[in-house]
Amino acid sequence: MKFIAPYIFCFIVGIHTLIGQTSSDGVGIGTVSVASDAILEVESNNKGILVPRVTTTQRNQISAVSEGLIVYDKTVDAFYYYSGSEWLRLITQPELDLKLNLTGGTLTGNLNMSSNKVTNVGNGTNTADAVNKGQLDEKLNLSGGTLTGNLSMNSNKITNLASPTVGTDAARYSNITALDNRKAEEGAVLTDFNNYTDAGIYFAGGSFASNQPNQDDFYTMIVTSNGSIIDQLCITNTSTNGGRGDIWFRRKNGSWGAWTKIK
């Protein structure tokens, strides 16, 4: 028995040397020099590491899952790690390309940003390149978000414009068409004087207008409004049916009254 013990000791030491090296710094497999910041270091030129291979059902049945646990899911052929609250899939570049509808780095479908930003955009150089805010500010001569130079639209539109609220706001097309094509210039034709109940001054009339004091004449119309009471005062600009400078008045209080010549 005394002769056998030394051989057993040598065998154990040899196996330990072949398998790895254990030290206070960590355990090495295939190496006797373990990195100081590693608890386990594995080295091989022709072999890899196999982590547990499970199905999706088996993975979901693992109880008391530790944060950082890694398995290979055979059902979907992908690695998963546990974040501490859920299993997360390690996605590959081909899978990422497919998810983003990318083909060779080119987006072939729409990319929904869900109100998030695209950040760290480089300076655009080609016609279809995205530009960053710095380039846009420089192009538009913007200083602190305020346009300090002319902006040429090259016959393009500004769309989705909000309704104006102050005098310097841009107006929408609907704001203009709401005026029913009234024109503040002599010779413009109002289709029907009854339609003009908004306070303002209008230069209008002509043979096609209805409910004017005299057919064919042109007028300077002053409209005032006080709640449900609307007054129209017309000054004759031509003398087709009356004298130039004639003044006509009528009031709407529920319904229009008759025109009355007051001068």
The reply to whether the predicted model has a pTM over 0.75 is no
More confident residue, 69 or 139: 69
Residue 241 backbone phi and psi in degrees, to 5: -120, 0
Cβ(244)–Cβ(236) below 8 Å: yes
Distance CA 8, CA 26 (A): 25
Identify whether residues 36 and 93 lie together within a single domain. Answer: no
pLDDT for 48? 92
Question: At a CB cut-off of 8 Å and minimum separation 6, what does 236 contact?
Answer: 213, 214, 217, 218, 219, 242, 243, 244, 245, 246, 247, 248
pLDDT bracket for residue 64 (50, 70, 90)? confident
User: Is pLDDT above 70 for 223?
Assistant: yes
Cβ(9)–Cβ(16) below 8 Å: no
87: helix, coil or strand? strand
More confident residue, 165 or 175: 165
Distance CA 45, CA 47 (A): 6
CATH number of residue 79's parent domain: 3.40.1620
pLDDT for 150? 79
Identify whether residues 213 and 251 lie together within a single domain. Answer: yes
Residues in the chain: 263
Structure token digits, residue 7? 């051989």
Q: How many domains does the chain have?
A: 3
pLDDT bracket for residue 138 (50, 70, 90)? confident
Question: At a CB cut-off of 8 Å and minimum separation 6, what does 68 contact?
Answer: 81, 82
- Residue 157 included in any domain: no
Identify whether residues 188 and 257 lie together within a single domain. Answer: yes
Angle at 164 between CA 162 and CA 168, to 5 degrees: 125
Identify whether residues 248 and 210 lie together within a single domain. Answer: yes
Average pLDDT, the chain: 79
Identify whether residues 27 and 90 lie together within a single domain. Answer: no
The whole domain housing 243 covers 184-261
Closest listed residue to residue 256, CA positions, set 221, 224, 230, 235: 230
- Residue 243 included in any domain: yes
- Residue 70 included in any domain: yes
Identify whether residues 15 and 82 lie together within a single domain. Answer: no
pLDDT for 104? 66
- Residue 119 included in any domain: no
- Residue 153 included in any domain: no
Q: What is the mean pLDDT of residues 69-84?
A: 95
User: Is pLDDT above 60 for 22?
Assistant: no
Percent of the chain with pLDDT over 70: 79
Under DSSP, the state recorded for 210 is B
Q: What is the mean pLDDT of residues 28-48?
A: 90
Distance CA 50, CA 249 (A): 98
- Residue 9 included in any domain: yes
- Residue 233 included in any domain: yes
- Residue 86 included in any domain: yes
